[in-house]
Amino acid sequence: ETGVTQSPTHLIKTRGQQVTLRCSSQSGHNTVSWYQQALGQGPQFIFQYYREEENGRGNFPPRFSGLQFPNYSSELNVNALELDDSALYLCASSLDTSGRAREQFFGPGTRLTVL
């Protein structure tokens, strides 16, 4: 069973640029959630994708967007990067979208640095 993978591991961008982060969900999982973890903080929910549609969003501006593909892999896109976007971005996959007891399986994350 393959776990959640993310690419790239690290990324350095400058303010105003755009970035795309990628995530492959665990085998059989149809739901992907993205979280932002700033230094010294807990992860913050960005949004969730289920069957290729965004079905839930946290308190993040529209320049944070995403996609989910038929194989359930996902992308996180951030436009007009700001210094505060520097963080570890975590992808988590799970089976089914609802159900509060569902475990979310996390990938190793992508460390984004914005200069």
Asked whether position 4 contacts another protein by CB under 8 A, the answer is: yes
- The backbone region for 64, taken as left when phi is positive above 0, alpha when psi lies in -120 to 50, beta otherwise, is beta
Asked whether position 100 contacts another protein by CB under 8 A, the answer is: yes
Asked whether position 106 contacts another protein by CB under 8 A, the answer is: yes
Element (H, E) at 54: strand 53-57
Q: Which two tokens stand for residue 86?
A: 């520097």
Phi, psi (deg, nearest 5) at residue 57? -145, 140
> Could you say which residues in the range 28-67 bind another protein, by CB under 8 A?
33, 35, 40-45, 48, 50, 55-56, 58
Binding residues with another protein: total (CB under 8 A): 30
Residues in the chain: 115
Give the footprint of another protein on this chain (CB under 8 A).
4, 33, 35, 40-45, 48, 50, 55-56, 58, 90, 92, 94, 97-109
